[in-house]
Amino acid sequence: MKKALAMFVATAMGVSMLSGSVFATEASTEAGTEAEAADSITVDAGDVDLSSLTFAYVPTTMNNPFWTAMMGGIKDEMKKLGMDPEKQLVTVDANSDQAKMNNYVSDLINQKVDAIILAPMDTSGVTEALQACSDAGIPVINVDTPVERTDLVASVIASDNYTAGVLCAKDMMSKLDKGAKVAVMNQASATACEQREAGFKDTAGDYFDIVSTTDTRGDTAKTLTAADDAITADSDLAAFFCINDMGALGCVQAATAANRDDILIYGVDGNPDFMGYVKDGSATASAAQQPSVIGSDAVDAAINSVAGTDVPSQIVVPVTLITQDNIDQFDISDWQ
């Protein structure tokens, strides 16, 4: 298992950590409650000929299986609706560079695409591109990471990050006694991660003794170092809560090296490469996202936007906690 873990760590270190969405409803953010998932969007193309449309997919990076899974959802929905994604979908890879993304969007405007499905690298830095789309009359469906200027997008579609933290906290509380020591690995620069941490801490309240909160940016190597320090500093450490699966992987490696298989480890994402560690008990759980659902909803929203029919301004895609107890109910070879 250690050999397989080392191979996964090496792969993960080359992957962008910005795979998690950054969306929660105002209710969950301000009132600290779980967000309710919006009703599934219904396609209403009106008089629009779907075979005449061209959409663009502009993710943060394609160097991450999360975005590939979302593209799969986009293509599947287009095929379901009789569209040909090989001819009607343009994809670009900004490689986590917002300036490059803005340039790509400018090119897409010149190509006169009908709608753009976009996840920004920089929520404010993308404003220039969004304004250009608005001026050109091209609707933007904002996926995963909410932009700062939501008035410039037709809809924001993303996972319920606050509830991801809630689910992890509730499960951890069911397994540990009050006062158990917990270390949190977060990423203060990302709204998604802040929301996941808030969901966890709001739910747990004073139930746990949170001995440390470390900003590891969701990076496996950085989290490994921090987790090793946390284990060394406190022999009574009972659990880790990590804002993504890549960070949780670092905790798995640290716990394995320290022979501490008693430490509970929670992540968020539902990364298929991480699920094996949940299945064998090396990790405890992951609050799984559904990137393919986000992608399919984005296609429907794009069609409605072009047709001038109603599009929800916010669509929340539910998350599911996958543990060793229920993992056999899921196809862990792919994202949920």
**Residue 334 covered by a domain:** no
- For residues 20 and 61, membership in a common domain is answered with no
Whether residue 251 is predicted with pLDDT greater than 80 in this model: the reply is yes
Task: Give Cβ neighbours of residue 145 (< 8 Å, ≥ 6 apart).
Answer: 18, 21, 22, 23, 60, 119, 120, 123, 158, 191, 192
Predicted local confidence at residue 108, as pLDDT? 98
pLDDT at 25 over 70: no
- At 130, list the tokens: 């969004």
Do 167 and 273 share a domain, yes or no? Answer: yes
Q: Are 111 and 136 in contact (CB under 8 A)?
A: no
Q: What's the chain's average pLDDT?
A: 88
Co-location of 36 and 70 in the same domain: yes
Residue 295 lies in a domain: yes
Give the pLDDT band (50/70/90) at residue 127: very high
Q: What is the token pair recorded at 166?
A: 């809630």
296 and 196, same structural domain? no
What is the pLDDT averaged over residues 163-176? Answer: 98
Confidence label for 9 from pLDDT (cuts 50, 70 and 90): very low
Do 210 and 61 belong together in one domain? no
145-150 long-range Cβ contacts below 8 angstroms, 24+ apart: 145/18, 145/21, 145/22, 145/23, 145/60, 145/119, 145/120, 145/191, 145/192, 146/22, 146/23, 146/191, 147/120, 147/123, 148/123, 148/124, 150/313
In DSSP terms, 322 is beta-bridged to 286
* pLDDT higher than threshold 60 for residue 153: yes
The predicted structure's pLDDT at residue 179: 98
Per-residue pLDDT at 333: 80
Work out the percent of the chain whose per-residue pLDDT is above 70.
88
Assess whether 180 and 165 both reside in one domain: yes
Q: Tell me: do 181 and 202 sit in the same domain.
A: yes
User: Does the residue 106 lie in any domain?
Assistant: yes
Which residues have CB under 8 Å from 332's CB, separation 6+?
272, 275, 276, 279, 322
Task: Tell me if 168 sits within 8 A of 287, measured CB to CB.
Answer: yes
Do 254 and 193 share a domain, yes or no?
A: yes
**Is 56 inside any structural domain?**
yes
Is the domain of 167 the same as that of 282?
yes
Residue 335 lies in a domain: no
Full-model pTM = 0.76
5: nearest Cα among 224, 210, 181, 211: 224
Asked whether residue 155 falls in the same domain as residue 6, the answer is no
Backbone angles phi, psi at 52, to 5 degrees: -95, -5
Answer yes or no: do 51 and 64 share one domain. Answer: yes
Q: Which of 5-19, 89-103, 191-205, 298-312 has the lowest mean pLDDT?
A: 5-19
Domain that holds residue 59: 31-159+291-318
Do residues 234 and 307 both lie within one domain?
no
Number of domains in the chain: 2
Whether the CB-CB separation of 292 and 72 falls below 8 Å is answered with yes
CATH number at residue 6: 3.40.50.2300
Read off the tokens for 10.
Answer: 């090496």
Q: Is residue 336 part of a domain?
A: no
